[in-house]
Amino acid sequence: MANTPPKHSKHAKVDGGAHAPGRTSSFGTVSPDGNRRMVSAFDSRYSTSPEGTLYAQPPAGRQFNMAPQKSKGRRIALIVLAVIVGLLLAAYLAGVAVFSSLFYPQTKMAGQDLSMMSVQQVEQLLQQRLDDYSIQVKGQGVDFTLTGRQTGIAQDVASIARKMHDTFSPWAWPAEVFAGHDLSHNLEYSLGDMDTLSTAVNSEVEKFNATATAPQDAYVAYNEEAGEYQVMPSVMGNTLNGEAVLEAVAQAVAEFSAAVNLDADVVQQPKVLVNDEGLHATADEANKLISADLALMVGGTEAAHLGKEQLKGWVSLAEDGTVSFDDAALDAWVEAFVENSETVGTERTYTRPDGKKITVSGGDYGWYIHTSNTKDMVREAVKNGTQGQIEPPINRKAAEWNGKGKADWGDSYIDVDITEQHARFYKDGKIIWETDFVSGKDGNETPLGVFYIKTNNGASVLKGYEEDGKTITYEAPVEYWMPFDGNLVGLHDCDWRTEFGGDIYHKNGSRGCINLPTKKAKELHELIWVGLPVITHE
């Protein structure tokens, strides 16, 4: 029986029994002398006395020796952990393999679900979208649809599908598989054949513009109501700018839009507006050219008026704003004025005081205007914007001007009626002298027309000449020579005649002069003056 330690001892002596020297017990190693000197790590509950006796610590509770059981549990735990890690690693690698060719779940592109699709499937999807593409163009009065083929849209579907998949890392699948992904930004389109789209758009634009109203630029024009050139405002239309429409459609196609609404920017706008400085300068210059207002006076009477109504027709406005004036048209107007104003030799009709209506032409009496000088005068007046009366240069004047075709010799004149063979001198509209006469015989008829007295010098010797103008055929002295057609034909006394009037002139007439009784010739000589009109008529 083992010895019992004293009760007051803090340790109980444990006798492990007899053991062979050098053997190991559960409580420690037995030395050759039989004493245990070492304890295992599990025996920290024990202590030894100075004599080498091993004592057990008082138990804090129930304790067992678990060293073998703990070692086995640790091994099992490690094995389980290794299996789990292996399974996780296998699952991870499997995920890497799967997502190396497939898209992650919750992946979208332009509203379409690409979850768990392969690159090839996405490529097919992209191609189908491209084949089905069309775009509706509307707004500003148009509404038409273009197919994908008409737009010329193109896309490298294989490259884009691969590029979209390459944005993912399959090694990050544990984190990415639960996240949402939108790959729309990877979609890229090109208009590989811009000519195709241009042709389709331009065709629709031209069709619309054919019945649309084109815009009109501001321009300079003569305003009849205002009586001046003014800048007319631009006019808005609704025709479309083909380039602007093409640009809007091309941008929408490049974005793969299904529709595009055209705004007001595609409507053709006037290029020149009413506030254009160049237009106002043009209007001012044109108005200066029509500012003249001329009354052309002939014999104190307005024979013609030249103002803006005529002048505006001779002003031309070029597209570049250049203003020009048609001088040739102005010259033609002056020529017409002269022709309509001159009366020398023209046909004139009048009614004699006794009621006889007479039409006469020829002679050298009347109005005669210097044409070239008149052109210069009028052109200068127009250039300077002259307003008022101007009198053209007159080469020959009459008593008055009443217009073309009318009498212009006033109330004082000698009326020589060849048919009646009777002459009358009207002064201030009243007869103050008259007589019968003998005019030129057949073949030497007295010239008809409106003439005027060239001289009134009295006595003269009348001479006749051959056709050569040199050989004198006769000489006849007279007391009262009053020529009216140059110095060749005139009124004169004829003392070799005793009868006047009637039909004498047909057989026994003069060589063209008006033969008067001497007494009547003397009276007339004393009444008339140089320049007095002489009208010879039938």
Catalytic residues: 492, 513
Provide the pairing of β-strand 153-154 with 190-191: antiparallel
214-219 LR contacts (CB < 8 Å, sep 24+): 214/239, 214/268, 215/239, 215/268, 215/269, 215/270, 216/270, 217/270, 217/271, 217/272, 217/273, 218/270, 218/272, 218/273, 218/274, 218/276, 218/279, 219/272, 219/279
Are 514 and 416 in contact by the 8 Å Cβ rule? The answer is yes
Going by C-alpha positions, the residue among 266, 288, 280 that lies closest to residue 233 is 280
Instruction: Tell me if residue 29 falls in helix, strand or coil.
Output: strand
Q: Which two tokens stand for residue 512?
A: 């063209």
Q: How far from the centroid of its chain's Cα atoms is residue 211's Cα?
A: 18
Are 480 and 458 in contact by the 8 Å Cβ rule? The answer is yes
- Radius of gyration of the chain, Cα coordinates, nearest whole angstrom: 68
Give the single-character DSSP code of 170: G
Q: What is the DSSP string of 363-382?
A: BS-S-EE-HHHHHHHHHHHH
Instruction: Tell me if residue 262 falls in helix, strand or coil.
Output: coil
Q: Which two tokens stand for residue 444?
A: 């030497």
Q: How far apart are CA 324 and CA 366, in angstroms?
A: 37
Q: How far from the centroid of its chain's Cα atoms is residue 513's Cα?
A: 76
Provide the pairing of β-strand 107-109 with 181-182: parallel
Q: How far apart are CA 422 and CA 426, in angstroms?
A: 13
Neighbours of 79 (CB within 10 A): 10
- Ramachandran angles phi, psi of 188, nearest 5°: -130, 135
Q: What is the DSSP string of 172-228?
A: GHHHHTTS-EE-GGG---EES-HHHHHHHHHHHHHHHHTTSPPPB--EEEEETTTTE
Q: Which two tokens stand for residue 54?
A: 């091993």
Are 105 and 177 in contact by the 8 Å Cβ rule? The answer is yes
